């Protein structure tokens, strides 16, 4: 089921998208994630699958608390290091694939294909976090653009793309 609405807890300060200080304001790093998914991803979801390195994690099962430990119930789950969302633009002329590389340290190469055919040619790329060496980097009044959504650039794809560690990449290419 497509996600049709999401909310952030605080819009300003605390964990907000915008941080206001006496000297001005700054867009928090996660502001750019909201911007990417709201304003740059397509409106029609497409089925996507991913084969990538994975790891086993404890997956929380709702808000049920275990009385003896005071912690939420969990179960082991295998989670892919790449999280993929594929869409088609509103005018149905552009494929868009957003990929989160969850690895803190490793770039991950992945084959991009559509209906079993490798994607090749010129694509448009926007990224958040690529090239930022500090996993815990944040935007401040002194460095308001340390973590931001990059401007669109053109890249050549020949079936494979390398997704940088701890980043989000949006790759777009024309239909047909």
pLDDT score for 124: 97
- Per-residue model confidence as pLDDT tens digits over 75-89: 999 999 999 999 999
DSSP line for the chain = --------S-SBSTT-SEEEETTEEEE-HHHHHHHHHHHTS-SEEE-------EEEEEEEEEEEEPTTT-SEEEEEEEEESEEEEEEE-TTS-EEEEEEEE--SS--EEEE-EETTEEPEEEEEEEEESTT---TT----SSSTTSS-BPPPEEEEEESEEEEPTTEEEEEEEE--
The pTM for the full model equals 0.85
- Compute the average pLDDT of residues 126-131: 95
| pLDDT confidence band for 2 (50 / 70 / 90) | low
């Amino acid at each position: 089921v497509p996600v049709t609405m999401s909310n952030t807890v605080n819009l300003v300060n605390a964990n907000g998208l915008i941080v206001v200080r006496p000297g001005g304001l700054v867009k928090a790093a996660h502001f750019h994630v909201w911007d990417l998914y709201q304003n740059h991803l397509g409106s029609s979801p497409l089925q996507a699958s991913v084969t990538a390195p994975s790891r086993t994690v404890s997956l929380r099962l709702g808000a049920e608390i275990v009385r003896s430990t005071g912690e939420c119930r969990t179960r082991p789950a295998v989670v892919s290091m790449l999280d993929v969302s594929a869409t088609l633009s509103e005018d149905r002329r552009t494929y868009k694939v957003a990929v989160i590389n969850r690895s803190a340290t490793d770039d991950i190469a992945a084959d991009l294909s559509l209906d079993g055919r490798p994607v090749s040619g010129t694509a448009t790329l926007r990224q958040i976090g690529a090239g930022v060496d500090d996993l815990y980097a944040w935007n401040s009044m002194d460095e308001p653009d340390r973590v931001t959504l990059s401007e669109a650039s053109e890249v050549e794809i020949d079936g494979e793309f390398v997704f940088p560690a701890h980043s989000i990449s949006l790759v777009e290419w024309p239909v047909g």
